Chain A
Amino acid sequence: MLKHRKQGDALVVCLEGELDHHCAQIVRQEMDRLIEEERPQRLIVDMQGVSFMDSSGIGVLIGRYRTLSRCGGRMAVCNMSPHVERIFQLSGLQRIIEKVR
C-alpha cells in the first residue's frame, strides 16, 4: 500500500523503494486506485523514498500525468534525489510536470 495524505486540494502520494519495471506494475495500479477514489485536483508525487529509478519510472509518471490531465487535474513531484532528477530531466518531464518542495 502506498502512503498518502491530503494536503488542501492536493493528494500527496509517497513512492518507496526501487521504481523499475518490476515494481512499476504495482505502483501504477495503486496510484490509479488512489486517483480513482480521491479524484484529486492536484497530485503531488513525493519521491523521497525512491532509492532507485530507471526509465520505467518515467513511464509511470507520464502515465499518471495523462490520467490526471484527462480529468482536468494537475501533477507535481517533490523530493527527487539527484539520480532521479537526472532521469526526470533527460526525459524532458520538467516541461510538463511541476517540481515543488
Chain B
Amino acid sequence: MVSKNSMRLEFLGCAQNESFARVVISAFAVQLGPTIEEITDVKTAVSEAVTNAIVHGYEGTQGMVVLSACVEDEHVLSVTIEDAGKGIADVEKAMEPFYTTQPEMERSGMGFSVMQTFMDTLEVTSVPGEGTRVRMTKRFGADA
C-alpha cells in the first residue's frame, strides 16, 4: 500500500509564525488541486487555531506549536494544530460564538466559529495543564 502524503512541522509560538503557518499549509494543500477560495478557507482556519495556541495556550510565553497535515484521500485534507499550553477546561463553552476569555485584548470570540464555518469537520480535544489539539478536515471540490 502506498502511504498517504503527510507533513509535520514544529515552530515557536510567536506571532510572526502565524503567517508562516498559513504559507506552509497552503503549499501543502496545493497537491489536492484546490480553488483559491478553498485554500483561503484552510489558511483562515489554520490561522485561527495557531493564533489560539499562541495567545491562549501559551499566553504569549512562546512554547512550541505543532502543525501537521495529511492527504486523507485525493479530495480530503486533514490538518492538526497542537500546543502544550494551559488547555481548555470547558471546550463546549469555549466553542460558543463570541465566547472569549480575553475581551480586553480585543479577541472577538469568533475563532472556533470561523474554523467550523470554513472547514467540514472540527474536533477539539484539550486537557487543562497539558494542552490542546484541534483537528479539522476539508473536502475539496465539494461545490463543483
* Given known contacts A21-B54, A21-B55, A22-B18, A90 and B47 CB-to-CB distance under 8 angstroms: no
**Number of interface residues, chain B, beta carbon within 8 A:** 24
Secondary structure of the B side of the interface?
A: helix
Contact: A28 with B18, CB < 8 Å? no
Q: Closest Cβ of chain A: how far from B142's Cβ, in Å?
A: 16
**Number of interface residues, chain A, beta carbon within 8 A:** 23
* A43-86 contact mask (Cβ, 8 Å, vs B): 1 or 0: 00000000011111011101100000000000000000011001
Contact of A63 among B37, B51, B106 (CB under 8 A): B106
Contact: B110 with A55, CB < 8 Å? yes
- Which of B19, B43, B47, B106 has most chain A Cβ within 10 Å? B106
Contact: B22 with A52, CB < 8 Å? yes
B43 cross-chain contacts in A, Cβ below 8 A:
52
* Given known contacts A55-B48, A90-B117, A28 and B106 CB-to-CB distance under 8 angstroms: yes
Contact: B111 with A18, CB < 8 Å? no
* B45-68 contact mask (Cβ, 8 Å, vs A): 1 or 0: 001100100110000000000000
- Which of A28, A56, A83 has most chain B Cβ within 10 Å? A56
In the complex, what distance in Å separates the CA atom of A20 from the CA atom of B54? 12
Q: Closest Cβ of chain A: how far from B36's Cβ, in Å?
A: 9
B125 cross-chain contacts in A, Cβ below 8 A:
none
Instruction: Report A's interface with B, CB cutoff 8 A.
Output: 18, 20-22, 24-25, 28, 52-56, 58-60, 62-63, 82-83, 86-87, 90-91
Instruction: Report B's interface with A, CB cutoff 8 A.
Output: 15-16, 18-19, 22, 37, 40, 43-44, 47-48, 51, 54-55, 105-111, 113-114, 117
